Each structure stands twice: as C-alpha cells, then as structure tokens.
Amino acid sequence: MMRLVFMALLLGAAGPVSIELPGEFVPFADIKGGPSAEAINANCLSCHSAEMVLNQPHLSRIEWQGEVTKMRNVYKAPVAAADDAEIVDWLVAMQAGRSDIKAP
C-alpha cells in the first residue's frame, strides 16, 4: 500500500508531460489504372501511418486479407467488412508496383 502511495506521489510530482504528434496527415493516393484509395484512407489511416503501411513486407492477396480481418477481429479496428475487397485490392496493387507511391 505504501508503495502505491509513493508511486502516485512520484508520478504527480513529475509535472506535465509533452508529446510530439506526427506531422501532417498524408492520405494514400489512387493507383493509376488500379483501385481507389478511398477505402484504405477511410479505414486504415486512423491507426497506421502511410509510411508504416507502405513499408510492409510483400504479402499475397490471401495474406493481406488475413491482416485486414485480424485488424477487425483481434484489434477491434472499426474496419467495415464491406471495404475489405477494396483495401486488399489497393494493398496488392501498391506492392505489385503498379504506382509510383512512396512513403512520405
């Protein structure tokens, strides 16, 4: 009990904490001759930066579908199941090099 009181006092005495938020919001771009980025922008950028998504290892369509499903079912991300196909299409096309998309 005394240890908890000490920790509370110590944390309270630490003063304000400052954090640095990420820079400017950068949406994903549509892929020329390919899928729109509307679904990935609406569902993925609330938790992931473009840089993080664009630097993932190469995955197959089935593996990307598994990742999208995992985000919804395991991490409880508010990803609409109706958007799965568009998100997976965009990710597969991006990794296939069908665009000049680069991480910001």
The enclosing domain of 81 has a CATH number of 1.10.760.10
Q: With cut-offs at 50, 70 and 90, classify the pLDDT of residue 65.
A: very high
Count of structural domains within the chain: 1
- pLDDT band, very low/low/confident/very high, at 97 (cuts 50, 70, 90): confident
Residue range 19-44: mean pLDDT, rounded: 83
Specify burial of residue 50 (Cβ count, 10 A radius: 0-12, 13-18, 19+): buried
Dihedral over Cα of 97, 85, 53, 23: its sign: positive
Is the separation of the CB atoms in 62 and 53 below 8 Å? no
> Is residue 72 included in any domain, yes or no?
yes
Q: Which domain holds residue 61?
A: 24-104
Q: Is residue 38 part of a domain?
A: yes
* Alpha carbons 44 and 71: distance in angstroms, whole number: 9
Specify the pLDDT at position 85: 96
In this structure, is residue 7 part of a structural domain?
Answer: no
**Is the residue at 8 inside a domain?**
no
Say if 18 falls within a structural domain.
no
Specify whether the backbone of 56 is left (phi greater than 0), alpha (psi in -120 to 50) or beta: beta
DSSP E strand stretches across the chain:
none
